[in-house]
Amino acid sequence: MGVRNQNREILKRLESKTLDAKFLTEVEQGLTCSPFEAEAVLEVVKEVYFPFVDEHCAKAPPGKVTLVAVSADEPAGKPIVECEKQTVCLTVHRGVQDDQIIQKDGAAGFRQARIPDLCQEALSQGALLTREDLAYRVFFVCPRTITRDLSLLRSTQPDVVIPLRSTVQDIGPVLTHRTKIVRLAKDVSCYPRRSIG
């Protein structure tokens, strides 16, 4: 048994969230092709169609980023490679409003202001973002930075639910809705019980 390489695992998960990976999954599952056959089909499609596709028409508007994320309908426990993916267009920078946040609160304040909205925007388009998506594809920081941002957001805004894949599917190291259930149960148990009679 070898030593677990977490960096390689992260790269594999990120690699599985590309347009090529989405196409391969569609071909493998939809046409019941082998991975080798799916790769061959992808190469032919690239060879035939890509020279005629105008690269300028695929640009996202200013302040937006287009990325591939895991579909919100995919259950926990399923490998990301096998999950259905959705292409989402997210508003990273909203203009003057965000310029003011960056000047006042810096890069960390900007990330913390945008994370809840970005996650909600992805969910409204049928996908759930992960910490890795936010770190490597949106803000270009390490996942630890996003974890710190999320921790600070949860402590300062406990009522705000951030719809990340880990939160919605209840996976990962963070206690999510369970903490709210425990708090609610404690609040209910504080009230004296009335006897029925």
CB-count burial class (<10 Å; 0-12, 13-18, 19+) for 13: middle
Distance CA 122, CA 1 (A): 38
pTM (2 d.p.) = 0.70
What tens digit of pLDDT does each residue of 99-112 get? 999 999 999 999 99
Question: Residue 82 has what pLDDT?
Answer: 86
Q: What is the mean pLDDT of each run of 10 residues along the chain (197 residues)?
A: 81 88 91 93 87 64 90 89 90 93 96 96 95 95 96 92 85 54 51 51
d(CA 96, CA 94): 7
What is the rounded CA–CA span in Å between residue 129 and residue 101? 23
H helices of 94-176, where? 96-124, 131-132, 143-156, 165-168
Q: Domain limits of the chain?
A: 6-188
Nearest to 38 by CA among 49, 22, 18, 52: 22
Residue 77 near residue 172, CB atoms below 8 Å = no
Return the residue matching tokens 């969230």. Answer: 17
Return the pLDDT at 70.
93
Q: Check residue 137 and report its DSSP letter.
A: I
pLDDT confidence of residue 182:
47
SS3 label, residue 192: coil
Task: Note the pLDDT of residue 54.
Answer: 62
In the prediction, which pLDDT does 181 show? Answer: 47
Q: How far is CA 108 from CA 129, 144, 161, in A?
A: 19, 12, 19
Measured CA to CA, the distance from residue 102 to residue 7 in angstroms comes to 30
The number of residues in the chain equals 197
